[in-house]
Amino acid sequence: MAIDKSLLTGSTSMLLLKLLEEKDMYGYMMIEELSKKSDNTFSLKAGTLYPLLHTLEEKNFVTSYDKISDTGRQRKYYSITKKGKHHLKEKKEEWQQYTSAVNKVLKGGMTFAY
């Protein structure tokens, strides 16, 4: 079953920050990693990814630098900042609260320990 794209919109930046928390990456690497880690649920296009990265950079959540990749090509790598890590922590907490509330409603208002 395909997931409604509108459900993904708000979480994409959080997912990118999570990837960058693990290691610095260039754009295509993020697309591949996100797809792999989500069992192909998240398949970003470059036209979606780069505007998100530019916005994250404008907010000082990530920085970028040029580096030669393992293949020998010059690539623009992205790195999460201290401010970005703080933002990610807030967003993860917000996401937990949100999914918990949705699950409570879907399960008839009952609380489950996870």
Q: Which residue has the tokens 């967003």?
A: 91
pTM for this model (two decimals)? 0.82
d(CA 85, CA 91): 10
d(CA 2, CA 38): 13
d(CA 113, CA 15): 24
Share of the chain above pLDDT 70, in %: 87
* pLDDT exceeds cutoff 60 at 6: no
- For the segment 50-77, what is each residue's pLDDT rounded down to a tens digit? 999 999 999 999 999 999 988 889 999 9
Mean pLDDT across 42-54 = 91
Phi, psi at 113, each rounded to 5°? -85, 135
- Per the CB < 8 A criterion, the answer to whether 77 and 64 are in contact is yes
Tell me the pLDDT band of 37, cut-offs 50, 70 and 90. very high
